[in-house]
C-alpha cells in the first residue's frame, strides 16, 4: 500500500490531487467529505489546516488486514507545533476506476503535542 496521500498534502495543496485519494469518493463517507467545495472547507478549516504545507511527518502503522490499515501520523506544522492523528484507509472493492485502490475512510481530530522549540 502506498502512503502517498500524506505526501501529497505535504508536497502540494492541490485539492484535485488530494481529493483523488480522499474518502470523498467513498460512498459511505461522502456525507462527511463531499462535494468538493465542502471538502475544501474541511481541509482549510481550523481542524485540519495544519496538514497543508507542513514541515515534516512520521507514519507508524498501528494495525492492518488485507482490507484496511490504520496509522498514527505525527505532523510538524509550519508553526513548528506537533499534531497527532489516527489515519485509516480501506481497500475499495467495488467495480470501477477505484477498484483495489486504498482510500482514506477516517482521520481523527488532531491532538496537539506541543512545540518543537
Q: In the numeric block, which cell numbers belong to residue 47?
A: 481542524
Q: Which three cell numbers stand for residue 116?
A: 518543537
Bridging pattern class, strands 68-76 and 102-107: unpaired
Residues 6+ positions from 65 with CB-CB distance below 8 Å: none
83 versus 93: the higher-pLDDT residue is 83
Residue 74 has pLDDT above 60, yes or no: yes
Q: What would the DSSP string read from start to end of 60-112? A: EEEEE-SSEEEEEEEEE-TTSEEEEEEEEEEE--SSSTTTT-EEEEEEPPPEE
The residue-averaged pLDDT of 52-74 equals 89
**pLDDT confidence tier of residue 92, bands split at 50, 70 and 90:** confident
Q: Quick one: average pLDDT of 53-72?
A: 90
pLDDT at 51: 82
Q: Where is pLDDT greater, at 104 or 25?
A: 104
| Domains with residue ranges and CATH for the chain | 4-115 (3.10.450)
With cut-offs at 50, 70 and 90, classify the pLDDT of residue 10: very low
Output the CA torsion sign for 56, 110, 87, 51: negative
- pTM of the shown model: 0.69
> What is the separation, in whole angstroms, between the first and last Cα of the chain?
34
User: Given this model, what pLDDT does residue 28 score?
Assistant: 56
Amino acid at each position: 500500500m502506498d502512503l502517498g496521500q500524506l505526501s501529497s498534502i505535504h508536497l502540494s495543496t492541490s485539492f484535485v490531487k488530494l481529493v483523488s485519494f480522499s474518502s470523498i469518493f467513498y460512498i459511505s463517507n461522502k456525507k462527511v467529505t463531499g462535494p468538493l467545495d465542502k471538502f475544501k472547507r474541511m481541509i482549510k478549516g481550523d481542524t485540519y489546516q495544519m496538514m497543508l504545507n507542513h514541515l515534516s511527518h512520521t507514519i507508524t502503522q498501528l494495525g492492518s488486514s488485507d482490507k484496511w490499515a490504520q496509522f498514527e501520523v505525527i505532523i510538524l506544522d509550519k508553526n513548528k507545533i506537533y499534531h497527532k492523528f489516527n489515519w485509516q484507509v480501506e481497500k475499495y472493492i467495488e467495480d470501477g476506476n477505484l477498484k483495489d485502490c486504498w482510500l482514506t475512510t477516517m482521520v481523527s481530530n488532531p491532538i496537539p503535542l506541543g512545540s518543537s522549540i
